[in-house]
Structure 1
Amino acid sequence: MTKVTDRYAYRVTWSEEDQEHVGLCAEFPGLSWLDSDPCKALTGIRQLVEATVVDLNENSEPVPEPLALRNYSGKFMVRVPPETHRSLATQAAESGVSLNRLVASKLS
């Protein structure tokens, strides 16, 4: 049976400051695990997250929903300076596409 912690978004990256690999979990931005071995950094963060979820459950605190299980509408608002808005609108008009289509293509 799959545990909720198996569905979280984990990653391992290099920390130049610490001179070690750091394991991270997107749903728990305050947690990290350092190790010289990237596989051990991943194992460490996964174990830390699992222990944190157990603690949250024991204390009747909310457990973050995995990003992979969340529903996304495909819409979000971005605020930009008026000059950027004007520039993008001009680019869209010159390309013969909507502002939405132009920005979506730049993001993908």
Structure 2
Amino acid sequence: MALKNDHYTYRVTWSEGDKEYVGLCVEFPSLSWLTKTPEGALRGIRKVVADVIADMKKNGEDIPEPVANRNFSGKFMVRVPPETHRKLTIQAAEAGVSLNRLASAKLSK
């Protein structure tokens, strides 16, 4: 059973250890589905997620909000060691940009 308005974030990748494709869901990191084809892995993980959500609803549990439905401000804080902060500040000054602009550029690569 697929979810109506299923906006969850899925990924299918090869599992060398299992010699099968594995379907994963970002919002439900403990769930996975192994099978011989990538299409089957996607179908399988979507069904598992749908079943888990149905069970969660039955039990009155909070359902994770899909990442795709969330609003992002574009701001987050990163803690780094003081020496890293110093090195990045020097790099930014040498490049003639703000530390924020330098960090954003490095994270975008």
Instruction: Provide the TM-score with structure 1 as the length reference.
Output: 0.94
What is the RMSD computed on CA atoms of the aligned residues? 1.1
Greater shift in the superposed pair: 77-86 or 38-47: 77-86
Counterpart residue identity of residue 95, structure 2? S
Moved over 2 A (4+): none
Structure 1 residue 27: Cα displacement: 0.3
Q: Paired residue for 1:3?
A: 4
Number of residue equivalences: 106
Unaligned runs of 5+ in 1: none
Q: Which residue of 2 aligns with 1:55?
A: 55
Structure 2 residues not aligned, in runs of 5+: none
1:94 aligned residue: 94
User: Identity percentage over the alignment?
Assistant: 64
CA distance in 1, matches of 2:69, 2:96: 37
Displacement of 1:71 after TM fit?
1.1
Tell me the TM-score normalized by structure 2: 0.93
> Equivalents in 2 of 1:40, 1:85: separation in Å?
46
Instruction: Map Cα deviations across residues 49-94 of structure 1 (whole Å, 9 max, x no partner).
Output: 0000100001110100000011111111111111211111110000
